[in-house]
Amino acid sequence: MTTNEARKKNRKKLGEAEKFSRAEDRSGAEKIWRAHLKDAPEDADVLFNVGVCIQRRATESAERHEAATFFNRVVSSPEATMERKADALNNLGLLMESIGESEKAMVAYGFALKMHPMHKAARVNLGDSHRHFGNFHQADEEFRVVLSQDDASPEAHFCAGMIALLLGDYKRGWEEYRWRVKVPNYQTKPFITDKPKWEWQPLDAKTIILTEEQGFGDSFQFLRYARWFKAQGARVVFRAQPALHRIAEGFDGIDEICHLGHEPAFDYHLPLMDAPHFAETTLANIPTAHCLRVMPRWERYSLQTSNLLRKRIGIVWAGSPAHGKDKARSIPAEAFQQIIDANPLHDFYSLQAGPKQPEIQKLRGLKDDLSASIKDWTTTAQILSCLDLLISVDTACVHLAGALGRPVWMLTPYSPDWRWLLARTDSPWYPRLRLFRQPAADDWQTPLTQISDALQAL
């Protein structure tokens, strides 16, 4: 085979692999790249793409190690360009993050930028690493550098928006946060429709659909804006997955709830989390949180206690493992043992559901495990309305309790989600929420001790 024939064959294979990738047929793409690897075992581009294919499907340590091996071969390849080496180091950083090695990830991103200072993905990831370690202003600077190189980078805008919101700069934050929907692989599918998005058009006698996005907690937090749109004269429809339909009936301002693909006639639509931007929300004018009513037709639920002086306290120690930052927010069930042991005059109830529910076996002294009673979010709301207090990590349960106007104490990570701001023990989003913050990464003992002490004075 001549050199030209080989190049033509290689281009054809690469084109086929890229076609599979665009179609999200990852197994098909990997087969093509691996086949090409036999013909060009030291080709840096091929090595990199095989590593990417493995990384995308990696769930076990052996697969992550295999992907890392391919990226390391790219870094050490004398034929690889500096940009391709930076690509490999950036992906090595992502692998490190996936196993909780955040410091090693930051080093990898730093080396990637030394090799190729214009590598936008590595700089965005470096900024996110700074955020993880509490270096919020440095994180913001990294995102600003990316935007100086490419002012249309959705990842940099989105990340910059979260930092601005965390720092309390809501004017800039909401504007930047709107870029989230342009980020590749953004978790919420866009609402495909010929009808226009709402951007300040008159709403009197018009119907607007507010579309659910991201997690359950985001809906519970931002459905308060249904009342705001109602005040503009709109008929408000909430478009959401079935799991939210029954609980959404209790939120003020919603006229109708619809399934995805079963929308009524409407005039405009808007992603729910764009509402704060259009409402020109600042720290001083956040709409009241207490917008969820316990509906009469929901199941009646009561938690009996033999002594009215005993407080009924719910606990939740973990969120969904699928959450990107779950390792930073969830704690082991047994971490609550010191609180239970130190407060024998109160009754503790577990509201923990999901994959981490079996950890309840590690706890002693609970009054009851309510997981079997939790059928949906309405049942959870009914139980929360009967509790004197919820103590939880950062989960949707916190937002649900806040929307009900119930007292909540939340264990807050050192690098918190943007909505919890910095250096304060209260929240403008939920007047009855008290934040117990980690003073340093991985230090849950301090806030747990503070909560235990505070309970004794309750």
pLDDT per position as a tens digit, 393-451:
999 999 999 999 999 999 999 999 999 999 999 999 999 999 999 999 899 999 999 99
5, part of any domain:
no
* One domain for residues 107 and 22: yes
Please report the DSSP string for 218-243 in residue order: HHHHHTTHHHHHHHTT-EEEEE--GG
Three-class DSSP category at 2? coil
Q: What pLDDT band is residue 22 in, cutting at 50, 70 and 90?
A: very low
Assign 208 to helix, strand or coil: strand
Does 410 lie in the same domain as 356? Answer: yes
Specify whether 157 is located in the same domain as 271: no
Residues contacting 426, CB < 8 A, separation 6+: 433, 434, 435
263 has pLDDT over 70: yes
User: In angstroms, rounded to a whole number, what is the distance separating the alpha carbons of residues 314 and 366?
Assistant: 10
Contacts of range 76-81, beta carbons closer than 8 Å, 24 or more positions apart: 77/42, 77/44, 77/47, 79/42, 79/43, 79/44, 80/44, 81/44
Q: Is the pLDDT of residue 151 over 70?
A: yes
- Rounded Cα distance, 177 and 165, in Å: 9
Say whether both 76 and 138 belong to one domain: yes
Q: Are residues 332 and 238 in the same domain?
A: no
360 lies in the same domain as 253: no
439 and 382 in a common domain? yes
- Chain segment 381-401, per-residue pLDDT in tens: 999 999 999 999 999 999 999
Residues 18 and 162 in one domain: yes
pLDDT attached to residue 26:
63
Return d(Cα 156, Cα 131) in angstroms, integer: 13
Strand partners, 28: none
pTM, entire model: 0.89
Residue 443 resides in a domain: yes
Residue 210 — pLDDT band, cuts 50, 70, 90?
very high
Q: Are residues 165 and 231 in the same domain?
A: no
The pLDDT, as a whole number, for residue 323 is 77
d(CA 179, CA 195): 20
Which structural domain, as residue segments, surrounds residue 256? 207-278
Domain annotation covers residue 162: yes
Q: Check pLDDT > 50 for residue 28.
A: yes
Backbone angles phi, psi at 414, to 5 degrees: -55, -45
pLDDT digit string, tens, across residues 37-86: 888 889 999 999 999 999 999 989 999 999 999 999 999 999 999 999 99
Total of domains in the chain: 3
For residues 421 and 408, give the distance between their C-alpha atoms in angstroms, rounded to a whole number.
17
Instruction: For the chain, give the mean pLDDT.
Output: 91
Residue position matching structure tokens 């281009």: 11
Helix (H, G, I), strand (E, B) or coil at 330: coil
% of residues, the chain, pLDDT over 70: 93
Q: Which of 228, 258, 278 is the last residue of a domain?
A: 278
Provide the pLDDT confidence category of residue 308 given band limits of 50, 70 and 90: low
